[in-house]
Homo-oligomer: A and B are copies of this chain.
Amino acid sequence: MKSISLHAIPDVPRIQKGDDIAQIIFERMPDLEENDVVVIAQKIISKAEGRIRDLRDVQPTPEALELAQRSGRDARLCQVIIEESAEILEVKGKVVVTKLRNGMVCTSAGVDKSNLESDNGNKVVLLPEDADKSAREIREKLESLLGKEVAVIVSDSLGHPSRHGSVGQAIGISGIAGLDKAKGADFYGNSTGAIINVVDQVASAASILMGQSDEGQPVVVVRGVKYQRDLNAGISSVII
């Protein structure tokens, strides 16, 4: 029977700036298998990379003050959102829809308050500067520790404009093609023309396990996915 399994890496510690995530994964799961896909929550990568801003150090510009007024959000947070965005696309109530420099659309430029040592809500986590690069570095290090080929997906919880709630989506990838231009023809000989977004599906699958624990399970290994190994693929291939 064809099957896929997902395994949360146990006992991932609270990540601090400078932590070596590949080493942390390897120590807790040295039996990773060839072609496993390792899905890592964006937030721990951002923390390891020191992508944290203290809002007390942020001086809002007039543009940020205006966005704060439109959205009802903290002006210093708005300043960070503006700095992290290529473009503010839309403000719907408190929701600020942004386009990042790599073309990705998400809310608040991915800037997030949760899961950080409290500091009275003054600290925010930014997305990794280049999540494909983060994924590549972790993949390369993991592969050298393991002596096996694996893929890495950096995931975040993102929304869909016509659906409630968020699902896991890929924001950085390494070693795996983002899209599968499917089979050409189905079993009746009709062309399907279907293109599957493989990395978003795998990120969503992993996110089921990540979100199931109050303790947080930020790394999930997905085993049994048939994917195309591609060392040059980046997240831009799945972004419209």
Q: For A189, give the chain B residue with the smallest CB separation.
A: B118
Roughly how many angstroms separate A2 CA and B219 CA in the complex, as a whole number?
11
Minimum distance in angstroms from A182 CB to a CB of chain B: 7
Per the 8 Å Cβ criterion, residues 194-214 of A in contact with B are 194-198, 200-202, 204-205, 207-209, 211-214
Contact in complex: B214, A187 (CB < 8 Å): yes
Contact in complex: B200, A113 (CB < 8 Å): no
Chain B hits for A165, CB < 8 A:
178-180, 195-198, 200, 238
Q: Within 8 Å of chain B (Cβ to Cβ): is A216? A: yes
Minimum distance in angstroms from A5 CB to a CB of chain B: 5
Per the 8 Å Cβ criterion, residues 74-118 of A in contact with B are 104-105, 113-118
Residues of A at under 8 Å CB distance from B? 1-8, 10, 104-105, 113-118, 121, 157, 160-169, 178-180, 182-183, 186-198, 200-202, 204-205, 207-209, 211-217, 224-226, 237-240
Contact in complex: B8, A5 (CB < 8 Å): no
Q: Which of A161, A163, A166 has the most CB of B within 10 A?
A: A163
Find A200's partner among B117, B204, B215 (CB 8 Å cutoff).
Answer: B204
Q: Which of A161, A165, A213 has the most CB of B within 10 A?
A: A165
What are 8 A-B contacts defined by CB distance under 8 Å?
A4-B205, A4-B208, A115-B188, A164-B237, A165-B180, A167-B200, A168-B201, A186-B216
